[in-house]
C-alpha cells in the first residue's frame, strides 16, 4: 500500500477536497487496494471538525464523497506517508520546518501543482475567504493536478500501471 497525505492550512477546504477527488480517481482506476490517502492541516485551527460546508457542497455537486475530520500534521506523518503533498508554498515551508525535527529530514515534500507541466510553483489558492466560484476553481485545479500526480505515481511505481483495471 502506498500512502499519500495532502496538506493545507486548515484541513477543511483544499486538502480534504484533494483527498476526496484522489480517492474517487483511485477507485475508478481500480487501484484502491494499492493507494490510500489522508489529509491534514499545518495549523491546529480546525482539529476534529468536519470539512467546511462549502467544501462539502462543492464535493456533492461533483459526486465526490468526503469522510474526514480535521487534524493537524504530525511528525510521525513523515514516517507513515510515502508522499506528502502541500497545497501552497506556505504549507511547504511549514512542512519542511517540521521535517527537520523528524528522523526523516531528507524526505521530499511535494507541491501539488508541480505535477502539472506549466503550473510549477503555483499555489492551489486558499478559498476560505471566497465563495462558490473560488471553490469551483480549487476543484478544477485539484482535478488537473491529481491527474498529473497519479501519472507520476504510475511512472514511479510501474506495478500500479499493471494492477489498474
Q: Catalytic positions, please?
A: 8, 14, 126
Nearer to ligand 4NP, 5 or 8 (CB): 8
- Look up residue 104 and give its three cell numbers: 526523516
Nearer to ligand 4NP, 31 or 86 (CB): 86
CA distance 161 to 31: 9
At its nearest, how many Å lie between ligand 4NP and the CB of residue 70? 8
Nearer to ligand 4NP, 35 or 52 (CB): 52
Residues in contact with ligand 4NP by CB under 6 A are 8-14, 45, 126, 128
CA distance 28 to 13: 23
Place of cell 482535478: 143
Question: 123 — phi, psi (to 5°)?
Answer: -85, 155
At its nearest, how many Å lie between ligand 4NP and the CB of residue 135? 10
At its nearest, how many Å lie between ligand 4NP and the CB of residue 161? 31
- Look up residue 121 and give its three cell numbers: 510553483
| Residue nearest ligand 4NP by beta-carbon distance | 10
CA distance 43 to 56: 20
Amino acid at each position: 500500500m502506498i500512502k499519500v497525505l495532502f496538506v493545507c492550512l486548515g484541513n477543511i477546504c483544499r486538502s480534504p477536497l484533494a483527498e476526496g477527488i484522489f480517492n474517487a480517481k483511485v477507485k475508478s482506476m481500480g487501484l484502491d487496494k494499492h493507494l490510500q490517502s489522508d489529509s491534514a492541516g499545518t495549523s491546529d485551527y480546525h482539529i476534529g471538525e468536519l470539512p467546511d460546508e462549502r467544501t462539502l457542497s462543492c464535493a456533492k455537486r461533483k459526486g465526490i464523497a468526503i469522510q474526514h475530520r480535521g487534524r493537524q500534521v504530525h511528525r510521525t506523518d513523515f514516517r507513515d506517508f510515502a508522499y506528502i503533498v502541500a497545497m501552497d508554498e506556505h504549507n511547504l515551508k511549514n512542512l519542511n520546518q517540521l521535517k527537520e525535527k523528524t528522523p526523516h529530514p531528507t524526505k521530499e515534500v511535494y507541491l501539488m501543482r508541480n505535477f502539472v507541466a506549466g503550473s510549477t510553483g503555483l499555489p492551489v489558492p486558499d478559498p476560505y475567504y471566497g465563495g462558490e466560484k473560488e471553490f469551483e476553481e480549487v476543484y478544477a485545479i485539484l482535478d488537473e493536478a491529481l491527474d498529473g500526480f497519479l501519472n507520476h505515481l504510475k511512472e514511479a511505481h510501474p506495478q500500479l500501471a499493471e494492477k489498474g483495471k
